[in-house]
């Protein structure tokens, strides 16, 4: 259910369904169809904040840092 058309300004149009997979344990996938972990989730407060509440000790499989560490680092960078 990916994006098929671009809008007038050249940006992608909305999808019928848009589900972002963030992580799946320590699984790493990098294909045209799927990238896990999500390549930018560690830069997004709206992802890290709730993830830190439910899985603070989960380790990012590529960065080797816990969700708590990533959240704390993001907070320092945004001040």
Query: Is 14 tagged catalytic?
Result: no
9, 14, 20, 57: which one is catalytic?
A: 20
SS3 63: coil
End-to-end Cα separation, the chain, in angstroms: 38
Query: Is 3 tagged catalytic?
Result: yes
Structure-block tokens of residue 46: 């709206």
Query: Is 45 tagged catalytic?
Result: no
Which residue, 62, 57, 26, is CA-closest to 71? Answer: 57
3, 26, 30, 49: which one is catalytic?
A: 3
9, 11, 14, 18: which one is catalytic?
A: 18
Query: Is 18 tagged catalytic?
Result: yes
Structure-block tokens of residue 14: 């909305």
15, 40, 45, 49: which one is catalytic?
A: 15
For the annotated catalytic residues, the residue numbers are 3, 15, 18, 20
């Amino acid at each position: 259910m990916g994006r098929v058309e671009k809008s007038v300004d050249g940006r992608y149009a909305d999808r019928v369904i848009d589900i972002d997979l963030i992580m799946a344990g320590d699984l790493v996938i990098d294909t045209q169809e799927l990238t896990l972990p999500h390549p930018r989730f560690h830069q997004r407060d709206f992802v890290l904040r709730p993830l830190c509440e439910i899985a603070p000790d989960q380790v990012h499989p590529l960065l080797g840092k816990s969700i708590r560490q990533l959240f704390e680092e993001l907070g320092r960078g945004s001040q």
